[in-house]
Homo-oligomer: A and B are copies of this chain.
């Protein structure tokens, strides 16, 4: 994943035609965006893998094997699109608890996810200390997630400031839900980033709800991206279920940040298929019909169709990808289930640095 991304990111500026070219019918959008066929298939795999893993985790929850699930189902395209535009391990990512597909496509392995989900000692995100879906992986520069909503935003701004101080050209990305944009942190973070023209991309995954609270009770505006004007930065609305569009927008925002032109606010309109978490019951606040309607716009089915239409995959190819994902998930589960739980002896460790540590 990483080397693919790096190549793409490096070559993008040269290979990407200017917006005007987008209307040329001879070149398909994926080519226009400079994505190789291999990468198209790899993105498809990431979508499928995330969904497959997610479904397996829900199953484990019903089996009583894991106490808590919070899932990204429905929001995969946004996350895979951004993962493709950034350089994992080089750029810096402040994700949130719904960032499973992002984490996977950045390079977190299904086994690492499972070890975290099952709170095993080897869990690389937290050693079993945090709730599931509180990702973090040092080798990917994917920073440890906490539960308080929106705290990551000013931290991502601080990361952007660090890049400016260091003079590196890393881009910092941070992800937040629509609900998180109501919190003061959103305002303070975007304002600060704009003042200093920091290389930060703020991505709002607008799935229409903060748990049960619909957008109409969260704000009196149509697009969260419109808030960008309040800070003097560009705001972009994108169909979060359209992977290629997300990728295009993500590349633009990345280029802008990398060039030193400052932050961008991206709003990806999408939906979550599952209840807020395994503790939630979404029937209290949304209709089956609404969910069904969005199911028709499933980003994975959409991408599948696109691949088919452009002759990039066959039905058998799809099945092979699904099998590959299923196998990866099964291996991950097998390994993680057999792995040891954290030992109670370790509970007092790492409150502070140990002797001689950073």
A217 to B221, CA, bound (A): 27
- Given A183-B184, A184-B184, A185-B184; A230-B227 close (CB under 8 Å): yes
The 0/1 profile, CB within 8 Å of B marked 1, for residues 178-211 of chain A is: 0000111111100100110100000000000000
A residues 208-228 touching B (CB-CB < 8 Å): 217-221, 226-227
Q: Which residues of B contact A231 (CB under 8 A)?
A: 219-221
Q: Which residues of B contact A118 (CB under 8 A)?
A: none
What range describes how many residues of A lie at the interface?
20 to 34
In the complex, the answer to whether A230 meets B233 with C-beta atoms within 8 Å is no
* Closest residue of B by beta carbon distance from A197: B220
> Does A232 belong to the interface (CB within 8 Å)?
yes
> Does A229 belong to the interface (CB within 8 Å)?
yes
The 0/1 profile, CB within 8 Å of B marked 1, for residues 129-156 of chain A is: 0000000000000000000000000000
A182 to B218, CA, bound (A): 20
* Closest residue of B by beta carbon distance from A193: B220
A227 to B187, CA, bound (A): 11
In the complex, the answer to whether A195 meets B218 with C-beta atoms within 8 Å is yes
A219 to B229, CA, bound (A): 11
Q: Which residues of B contact A229 (CB under 8 A)?
A: 221, 226, 229-230
* Nearest chain B CB to A164 CB, angstrom units: 15
* Closest residue of B by beta carbon distance from A188: B184
* Closest residue of B by beta carbon distance from A195: B220
A194 to B182, CA, bound (A): 12
* Nearest chain B CB to A181 CB, angstrom units: 9
* Nearest chain B CB to A235 CB, angstrom units: 10
In the complex, the answer to whether A191 meets B182 with C-beta atoms within 8 Å is yes
Q: Which residues of B contact A185 (CB under 8 A)?
A: 184
Q: Which residues of B contact A183 (CB under 8 A)?
A: 184, 188
Q: Which residues of B contact A221 (CB under 8 A)?
A: 194, 229-232
Q: List 10 A-B contacts (CB under 8 A).
A: A182-B187, A183-B184, A184-B184, A191-B220, A194-B221, A195-B217, A220-B233, A221-B229, A221-B230, A230-B230
Other than A195-B218, A227-B230, give 17 A-B pairs with Cβ distance below 8 A: A182-B188, A182-B191, A183-B184, A184-B184, A184-B188, A187-B188, A191-B219, A194-B221, A195-B217, A195-B220, A197-B220, A219-B231, A220-B232, A220-B233, A221-B230, A226-B230, A230-B230
Q: List the 4 closest pairs (A to B, CB-CB), nearest first.
A: A184-B184, A187-B187, A220-B232, A230-B230
